[in-house]
Structure 1
């Protein structure tokens, strides 16, 4: 487990994308709170980012939100190296088309709480045209605590089951057709379990322990003939609701190399 642990932080901001897919500007939220090497890494990488051209033919610049997962670890040669592990880019065209109607937060599992273990569960769910969750699964569970391998697996299972058992009863307000051919929505939702209530604010720009869990295939996708979505799950900000289709992605490596 110690070998898998990395240091990690989520960095937020926004970008402006020209109609041809080139980046016209990039802004990092609270840049002054980030380590200088992280801000420099993002500046260098974003200078080489390219996106698919706007398929609508719209001549306007697209302004979208940005969340980056930055990780750092000591390499075998002893060098301390950071990189952009994942990214999500929002699309303002989806605003208001799907939003929470009724959502009860999962309770912190007692075993994890007593052992002071924190983590993030990344849910994948299908929401039908009426706003009901028809299927839900935990794609990945990351932990903020290094423990024995057997406990890691146990905690991941407990976190996942806790979230799935609650999320299947969530409801949504949906407008128009979904992002799938059958009219449904396929969305991701990250759920955080932590000792600090406002972790995003208190720890922004700080390195945190990060033990990524395995990315689990979602079995129920097959009954709808949906393909397995790309596994870039853990660059989502906590509490967000991210439609899986229509996501923007950088053409080429995120690090720009």
Structure 2
């Protein structure tokens, strides 16, 4: 499935801030000292490792913000799989401009491609099941929009973007509100017909109470054993959407997906992804 690009209006502040941080008050003093302003070059961004690329849209924007006269050609768009040595993008124009935008472009692409690549590895473990891999709010402050987009480029599903999207009742909410029945009553009273309610449970006994009380649309099965996840899916019997979470390592995903859960949320997609090695070569 093709993932539509994000509105440039939302991306420009992120890229502009990164360029300002890197260029500082004096600009690229090294390039100014040793590169003639009229020197033109053809540059390529190449993948040094195989993976799934993301952040291409931001890299292209970085070069255009540095110098609108640069000619950027995208050969492998966001969401594409690349082999080691494959060219993702070419940039033609002033060498000084290319060098000044290089690091910001590569930082965005490397970070986001790492997320997309790790997500794709998790998604591959769900093959043959209905389970979807999704991320969490464990994102880099200020970069949630593009990190969650990278998860989608890797084949993952969208989760809530932030606290205002949906009602997700965690264990501390339950404790503070006085229990499962109490918190679900309060949540349903406050929710509109357009807003879903998800509640976290740690045990099958808590799940029984959620099912008896009613009011939830989704149940988050947190830190459960594979056996308990399977039992939970049987108890729910399709009445709620099920999401498995907690300690979701890559080696465990296939067996969790086989329990019949609808979603598997993985914080590691955004907080532990290794940067994909990409380089810019003249």
TM exceeding 0.5? no
TM-score range (shorter-chain normalised) is: under 0.3
More helix, by proportion:
2
More strand, by proportion:
1
Normalised TM-score (structure 1): 0.24
Name which structure has the greater RCO, CA cutoff 8 Å, separation 6+.
1
Larger of the two Rg values belongs to structure: 2
Normalised TM-score (structure 2): 0.22
